[in-house]
Amino acid sequence: MRIISGKFKNKKLDFPKNFKTRPLKDNVRENVFNIFKHSNNINFKIQNAKVIDLYAGTGSFGLECISRNASEVLFVENEQNALNSLKKNIANLNIKDKTTIYDQDAHIFLKNFNSEKKFDLVFFDPPYKDKKFIEILNLLKKKKYLDNNHIILLHREKNSQENIEESIDIVENRVYGRSEIFFGKFF
């Protein structure tokens, strides 16, 4: 696993060798950023963006954002092995000044987090078996942490049966193997 592009291009990332963490594959991350750049449906620039990486795992998505000049990333992760890798990756890239880590469950974090700051992008990658993620999406909407021109990027299993459309307006989606990526906004 590595950084795809930007100032940290080709830097290797540490990740746990267990099955609790399902990192976003390099090619999927690359495609997501290409969609940001070239889609007619999405008007979003990563440069100077403020990002929330929920269920951050090793932080590959948020770290890619920083490599591509996002101004800051807030990481939320509570699985200890993934958290250790995330901290190691941030230290190896020397970007502590652009990151904040919350060692919490995503639901608890959103219930307790208070910020006047508005975020531009939320990467939301809950475990496939997590069935509370719709509730968490709705809590995120209620808390109003997002800028008007925000994007919600949701990674789910392709054949999942959740009614995502009830919570976000899906602007675009892509399937990669057993993964599906939704680009959405709150309506």
Query: Considering the domain boundaries, does residue 70 fall inside one?
Result: yes
Residue 158 is predicted with a pLDDT of 84
Residue 10 is predicted with a pLDDT of 95
Residues of the chain with pLDDT under 70: 19-22
Domain that holds residue 156: 32-185
Query: Considering the domain boundaries, does residue 12 fall inside one?
Result: no
User: What's the predicted TM-score (pTM) here?
Assistant: 0.93
Query: Considering the domain boundaries, does residue 5 fall inside one?
Result: no
Cα 5 to Cα 154: distance, rounded to the nearest angstrom: 21
Q: pLDDT tens-digit profile of 78-115? A: 999 999 999 999 999 999 999 999 999 999 999 999 88
Q: How many domains does the chain have?
A: 1
Cα 165 to Cα 101: distance, rounded to the nearest angstrom: 29
Q: pLDDT tens-digit profile of 144-155? A: 889 999 999 999
Place of tokens 């070239």: 38
Cα 52 to Cα 152: distance, rounded to the nearest angstrom: 10
Residue 154 is predicted with a pLDDT of 93
